[in-house]
Amino acid sequence: MGKSKDKRIKKLGKKRIWLSVVGLLFILFFFFCIIMAILAASTIDVMQRKLSAGRKQSEKIAQLCEEYEEASVGDMGNTLLTYIDLLPEIEAVSIMGTEGEQKWSSNGVYPDMNRAADLDFLTDMLQLPTRVIVEEDYSRMFEIEDGTIFFSKDVLNKIDYQQLMDTENYFTTEESAPVIYFKVWFVMPAMQGNVMVLNQISLYASDLFMMLVSLAVCTFLLCVFTLYYMISFISVLVNMYRTTKLIYTDLVTGGDNWLHFVKKGTSLLKRKAPNRQWYAMIHLKMRKYRSFCTCFGVREGEELIEKFYCALKKQMHRKEIIAHRENAEFGLLMLHTSKEQLIARVNKMEEALNEVLPGMKFYFGVGVYQIEAGEQDVEQLYNNALTACDMLGEEAENKIAFFDVEMNKQRLWERMVEDDMDRALVNKEFKVYLQPKISTNEEKLAGAEALVRWIHPTQGFIAPDRFIPIFEQNGFILKLDDYMLEEIAAQQARWIAQGRKIVPISVNVSRAHFTREDLAEHIADIVDKYQVPHDMIELELTESAFFDDKRVLLNTVKKLREAGFIVSMDDFGAGYSSLNSLKELHIDVLKIDGDFFRGTEVGERGMLIVSEVIELAKKLNMKIVAEGIESREQVDFLAAQECDLIQGFFFAKPMPIDEFVEKYNEA
């Protein structure tokens, strides 16, 4: 699985969680601010009420002072002493000089004039008409700086309520313990110009009730919002779970999908396999699934896959996984103790799959890769299993193949061939080699076969059996055969122009061509471009073309012969040749495959058959070419049988055109 794909999928899930977490934190912070603001407001309110009461009582004292205009500071003080008890907020009265000199005090306490500056903010905030001085501030719940209120939890925690209650009389019950406490001096203008009267009041915020109410309101709101957020948070989690489930669910089987297989498989492979067991990656594929769908319908096909999935799942053990991949393919990660045990399990699985639809027989191709310790790339391992399965071909059989390194090499080779083939054609990397066909009676050149060689810029010389099968599978053979035909036609034309005597040259026509109705016309067009007589071009087809579209084959052969081309049947006797094809196919030349002669001495059964085939072909008016002839004995035997031409290493191997010209100059 691609890393960027991984990331994108993970992101899908994460994004929303973070949104909710951030939202929740934001709400929590918001309510914290509100609570603090309410606390501050209520505290300020309490203080404001106290201060205005204190101020009013201070004004009373100021009035009294006015009445004692003439009295000395001491007398005035003594008179004030009697009034202090009547004014509940006033705790002490002091008289000071304008320069701060201490003149008289009701209890011997004077304000610290140096602190006056600190308190300008209180004067502003509480809208006091006069300056205030604060002393003995035991705690400050908040600090004010540049008009901003900062709450300090530390300070609240530091208050020693017990000590406060012991030392002061203002607090009667514990509930009324103040959160803020300090003393304030009111400075009142005095009648005598050189003194001022200062009245001390205590300022403390202990209105816990108000605070509790605000706290309760906020807590309630907070709970509602938290609950709301919790619910939405949980719903996001549930959605996330569902999305994840959906991402990892296969839509055909309803079980785990490939993405899950890769994820889970990787984590299983990272861990140690159970004792004395190894993991194997398995690719299991139902053969002819397309035909099943064509007969019974796609929906039925999918239902079958679902049933297969369930049947396979039942066979899986703990720490083993399975997933549907595509069409009728499954990936399995299975434990095994030996190759034999694994094969037995796979066979059992195939039996189980065949019980899914009674009365119906299914065939499976299975590719296995036995995983070595440390291998964790699930996609790569599966690819190896796939490669193993690909090597099995498409026959309707139950087969199992184990991956080996050679398979991988073959895969890489195929990739290289497919990547380079187009460029090779343009760059004329495909070279025509000619192998002579020699007449048996005179032992002279009587024809030649054009065989392709690939001169690759980095790989060098490549023989056709390494790339022709690949081209036959991917269709490139059509282009290559046309190219070879055109090269031969052009070469023949050049030789004609040079006044040389030419012999028929055969080119191979792959069975892939026999799907096109106008193949004969197409071949004639290419040859006619160079105005080469048709009987100088021979076309070699294999019997296998019979199995594709017999009608097209018969028609094409007929048209080609009518147009004057020589048509030969290649590789007769190799593979599944049947004399039956000779009955229907009217051709000019029969090429007997080299296999007939290999490892067979003259006089053995093979030779008997060859002589009979030659006789039969003669009766059917065909010429005979014996291929792959490597010894004098073979040549002599064939000459005795009146075989017409011989092609083989005994006379010459396929060679480049220049060499051919040099060697057969007299032609």
Q: What residues line the site for ligand C2E (CB under 6 A)?
A: 435, 451-452, 463-465, 468, 477, 481, 484, 508, 510, 570-571, 594, 627-630, 647-649, 654
The reply on whether position 647 binds Ca ion by CB under 5 A is no
Coil, helix or strand at residue 357 = coil
Give the shortest CB-574-to-Ca ion separation in angstroms: 8
Distance CA 261, CA 282 (A): 12
Nearer to ligand C2E, 211 or 629 (CB): 629
Nearer to ligand C2E, 309 or 476 (CB): 476
Distance CA 591, CA 575 (A): 14
Give the shortest CB-568-to-Ca ion separation in angstroms: 8
The strand pairing partners of 592, in sequence order, are: 572, 626
Give the shortest CB-457-to-Ca ion separation in angstroms: 27
Cβ neighbours for 324, distance < 8 A, ≥ 6 positions apart? 250, 252, 253, 255, 257, 258, 305, 309, 330
The reply on whether position 542 binds Ca ion by CB under 5 A is no
Q: Which amino acid would we find at residue 43?
A: T
Give the shortest CB-472-to-ligand C2E separation in angstroms: 7
Among 429-437, 469-477, 534-542, 603-611, the segment contacting Ca ion (CB under 5 A): 534-542
Number of residues that bind Ca ion (CB under 5 A): 5
User: Where do we find the tokens 């028929």?
Assistant: 504
Binding partner of 524, given Ca ion, ligand C2E, none, CB within 5-8 angstroms per partner class: none
Give the shortest CB-450-to-Ca ion separation in angstroms: 9
Nearer to Ca ion, 119 or 545 (CB): 545
For residue 157, give the H/E element and its range. Answer: helix 153-158
DSSP string of 84-97? HTTSTT--EEEEEE
Give the shortest CB-493-to-ligand C2E separation in angstroms: 19
Give the shortest CB-571-to-Ca ion separation in angstroms: 4
Coil, helix or strand at residue 5 = helix
Which among 331, 334, 345 has a CA at the least distance from the CA of 384? 331
Coil, helix or strand at residue 22 = helix
The reply on whether position 481 binds Ca ion by CB under 5 A is no
Give the shortest CB-661-to-ligand C2E separation in angstroms: 19
Nearer to ligand C2E, 349 or 450 (CB): 450
Distance CA 625, CA 635 (A): 11
Nearer to Ca ion, 43 or 508 (CB): 508
The reply on whether position 538 binds Ca ion by CB under 5 A is no
The strand pairing partners of 646, in sequence order, are: 438, 626
* Contact pick of 57, 58, 492, 508 for Ca ion (by CB under 5 A): 508
Among 481-489, 570-578, 595-603, 613-621, the segment contacting Ca ion (CB under 5 A): 570-578
Binding partner of 452, given Ca ion, ligand C2E, none, CB within 5-8 angstroms per partner class: ligand C2E
Query: Which strands sit side by side in the sheet containing 364-370, from one edge to the other?
Result: 321-324, 329-336, 278-286, 364-370, 399-402
Give the shortest CB-437-to-Ca ion separation in angstroms: 11
Distances (CA, A) of 583 to 222, 434, 587, 617: 96, 31, 10, 11
Binding partner of 486, given ligand C2E, Ca ion, none, CB within 5-8 angstroms per partner class: none
Give the shortest CB-439-to-Ca ion separation in angstroms: 18
**Helix axes of 405-426 and 477-497: crossing angle, nearest 10 degrees:** 40
Give the shortest CB-595-to-ligand C2E separation in angstroms: 9
Nearer to ligand C2E, 284 or 624 (CB): 624
**Could you give the dihedral angle defined by the CA atoms of residues 636, 637, 643 and 644, in that order, rounded to the nearest 10 degrees?**
-10
Binding partner of 654, given ligand C2E, Ca ion, none, CB within 5-8 angstroms per partner class: ligand C2E
The reply on whether position 94 binds Ca ion by CB under 5 A is no
State residue 552 phi and psi, 5-degree precision: -60, -40
Report the Cα 658 to chain-centroid distance in Å.
55
Nearer to Ca ion, 301 or 648 (CB): 648
Which among 361, 330, 326, 359 has a CA at the least distance from the CA of 346? 330
Binding partner of 451, given ligand C2E, Ca ion, none, CB within 5-8 angstroms per partner class: ligand C2E
* Contact pick of 487, 543, 570, 644 for Ca ion (by CB under 5 A): 570
The reply on whether position 540 binds Ca ion by CB under 5 A is yes
Binding partner of 468, given Ca ion, ligand C2E, none, CB within 5-8 angstroms per partner class: ligand C2E
Cβ neighbours for 419, distance < 8 A, ≥ 6 positions apart? none
Nearer to Ca ion, 390 or 627 (CB): 627
Q: Please count the CA atoms within 13 angstroms of the CA of 588 that sit on its side-chain side.
A: 17
Specify whether the CB–CB gap between 623 and 398 falls below 8 A: no
Nearer to ligand C2E, 133 or 488 (CB): 488
Nearer to Ca ion, 385 or 646 (CB): 646
Distance CA 558, CA 519 (A): 11
How many CB atoms lie under 10 A from the CB of residue 554? Answer: 15
Give the shortest CB-454-to-ligand C2E separation in angstroms: 10
Give the shortest CB-453-to-ligand C2E separation in angstroms: 8
Footprint of Ca ion on 613-642 (CB under 5 A): 627
Nearer to ligand C2E, 398 or 508 (CB): 508
Distance CA 21, CA 14 (A): 11
Nearer to ligand C2E, 256 or 570 (CB): 570
Report the Cα 614 to chain-centroid distance in Å.
63
Distances (CA, A) of 373 to 30, 271, 379, 419, 644: 55, 10, 16, 33, 62
Nearer to ligand C2E, 91 or 481 (CB): 481
Give residues in contact with Ca ion (CB under 5 A): 508, 540, 570-571, 627
